[in-house]
Amino acid sequence: MASKKLHAGAHLPRQAAGALEAGLVIAAHGRHYLVQAGEQKLQCVTRGKKSDVAVGDRIRFARTSPDQGVVEAIDERKTLLYRSDQYKSKLLAANVTQLFIVVATEPSFSDDLVSRSLVAAESAGVAAHLILNKTDIEEALPKTRERLQVYARLGYPVHEVSAKAQPEATRAAFMPLLQGQSTILIGQSGMGKSSLINLIVPDADIAVREISAALDTGKHTTTFTRLYRMDDETSIIDSPGFQEFGLYQLSEGMLERAFRDFTPHLGKCRFYNCHHLNEPGCAVLEAVQSGEIAPMRHQLYAQLVHESSQTLY
């Protein structure tokens, strides 16, 4: 869901456009942002109570001191990932090209979270991959692989790694996938996301401490999203672990198109305005009955349609 230039001072009311500098948002904590401008990192804020800036955004800012500034405009985004409940939305990252969903053999992962992440990726036009970590826990591996089959059958790549037991092999598997891409890693706590980041970005711990100090977040270093630039064309974004992924912002029409297993059946229902919930002659429901669409996927669709009708913001 690409977004046009937002309102964060896009009209440049107080500053002549020529005085603005360009920067890349590399971390966010509340309304405070760390911005990379050339070789320098600055702390920037938005005007008023706006918090519509995301990590990965390319912005223009007005400098207010040698190491501080105010966000005046957000450049047009190629992609935007965010989650929302019925009251508010939370931006995850802008301009990403791929989403890596990290799951593990242990602890057990949430199919609901994985499925919602895939819907978010589809609706935003972002490629999605599943990363199965901790494959060295062999007794749990067969069952975990079986659970991931529903996603593999949909065409989502599943990459098996073991960040702690096989660090070199894991790094070798990851690097070609990341090259030339802007990648965000998401996952529940305990899946080993931090271990993967530390393998891919060797000085990640130092960077986190620097960012934490710059944003004055104290010791809460896992509560903010941060971007690591690997080279001019490659970056990786780490996000805090979360347990829920609301998609209240997606309309019914957006949702049906975000389920790639629905695509072959859309437009074939008896009624042109079919909701794919309980209508007679629904091609999607027939595909569920025949086993072409997993019941779990249709149940999620029905839940998301219900949620999208509850939006208050």
- For the chain, 313 residues long, give each residue's pLDDT as a single digit of tens: 444 344 444 444 444 444 899 999 999 887 889 999 999 999 999 987 777 899 999 999 999 999 999 999 999 999 999 888 877 788 899 999 999 999 999 999 999 999 999 999 999 999 999 999 999 999 999 999 999 999 999 999 999 999 999 999 999 999 999 999 999 999 998 899 989 999 998 877 666 666 666 666 554 445 678 999 999 899 999 988 777 889 988 999 999 999 999 999 999 999 999 999 999 999 999 999 999 999 999 999 999 999 988 865 4
Q: What is the pLDDT of residue 75?
A: 96
Q: What is residue 217's predicted lDDT score, i.e. its pLDDT?
A: 54
Q: Measure the CA–CA gap between 65 and 216, rounded to whole angstroms.
A: 17
Identify the pLDDT of residue 250.
92
Residue 59 and residue 18: Cα distance in Å, rounded? 14
- What's the pLDDT score for residue 225? 87
Q: What is the pLDDT of residue 9?
A: 41
pTM reported for the whole predicted model:
0.88
pLDDT at site 141: 97
> What is the crossing angle of helices 193-200 and 204-215, to 10°?
110
* pLDDT score, position 2: 44
Neighbours of 17 (CB within 10 A): 9
Taking the C-alpha atoms of residue 13 and residue 19, their distance in angstroms, rounded to an integer, is: 12
